[in-house]
Amino acid sequence: MDYLELTPDNLENEHICCAIADKKHQLGVDEKKRWLAARILEGHMFRKLDAKGKVFIEYAPLESAWVPVVGERYLYIYCHWVAGSFKGKGHGAALLTACVEDAKRRGLSGVCAITAKKKKPFLSDAKFLGKFGFKTVDRAGEYELMALSFDGAPPRFAESAKRMRIDSNALTIYYSPQCPYARDCAQQCAAYCAREGIELRVEPVDTIEKAKAMPCVFNNWAMFRDGVFVGTHLLNEGLLKKLLG
């Protein structure tokens, strides 16, 4: 199994796995690559199978990760994805093991990720992480922060993330350039709401300060309805219609 790491030298010519062939997400891919170019310099890692497939893990030092999770000397896993015909061949375990070993090489205190009691799209699988020794160290509603700790204090959700509410009753979407799907999803939702006369606020999370201060659990996307947190599942026009009934 040959894996490669994205670097400033190969980033332009390599695909980023999850949006390989879907041209409608090209703007999001371009935005993600610009974002990655800066994040790689901060220790961000994107490791993938050297093949045309959705097989990768993406993580960063927690201190520079664009999520409302705080702590010291941990790696934070944004995405860990194995799809299609690549499933069941050991890629998920190999990529997670490489992440854990990377944390040890860096002299860090562990690795963490956001999960949920019930598996949710775009979040790490709690049962899979549990097999590798990850334990729940904090909760925010139905969401959990799991960590594999070598030493030191465990990470935790920022206090703001546990609010799960905002002051506005307008339908509200927060998204960051970490996910190449997010831009197109936000645009689809905005176009639908404009046609239907639905008030919608779209809030780009374009700095780490905004990400760390999010009023909810956030990995790259979050939605509020009537001031209440709906979830982290990316929504296109069809899914938004279903959500709104």
pLDDT of residue 53: 86
**Tens digits of per-residue pLDDT, 196-236?**
999 999 999 999 999 999 999 999 999 999 999 999 999 99
The label of the residue with tokens 């760390």 reads 212
DSSP 3-state of 130:
helix
pLDDT of 67 over the 70 cut: yes
Bridge partners (DSSP) listed for residue 138: 145
Average pLDDT over residues 144-148: 98
| 27 pLDDT tier (thresholds 50, 70, 90) | confident
User: Are residues 17 and 55 in contact, defined by beta-carbon separation less than 8 angstroms?
Assistant: yes
The class level of CATH for 161-244 reads: alpha beta
Average pLDDT over residues 40-52: 95
Give the CATH fold of the 3-158 domain.
Aminopeptidase (3.40.630)
pTM score: 0.95
Instruction: Give the integer Cα–Cα distance in Å for 117 and 211.
Output: 23
DSSP 3-state of 103:
helix
Q: Domain limits of the chain?
A: 3-158, 161-244
Average pLDDT over residues 142-156: 95
Instruction: Give the integer Cα–Cα distance in Å for 77 and 26.
Output: 24
Q: What token pair was written down for 36? A: 């990655």
User: Are residues 189 and 221 in contact, defined by beta-carbon separation less than 8 angstroms?
Assistant: no
C-alpha distances out from residue 27 to 1, 184, 185, 210, 220, Å: 31, 8, 11, 22, 16
**Tens digits of per-residue pLDDT, 74-128?**
999 999 999 888 989 999 999 999 999 999 999 999 999 999 988 888 899 999 9
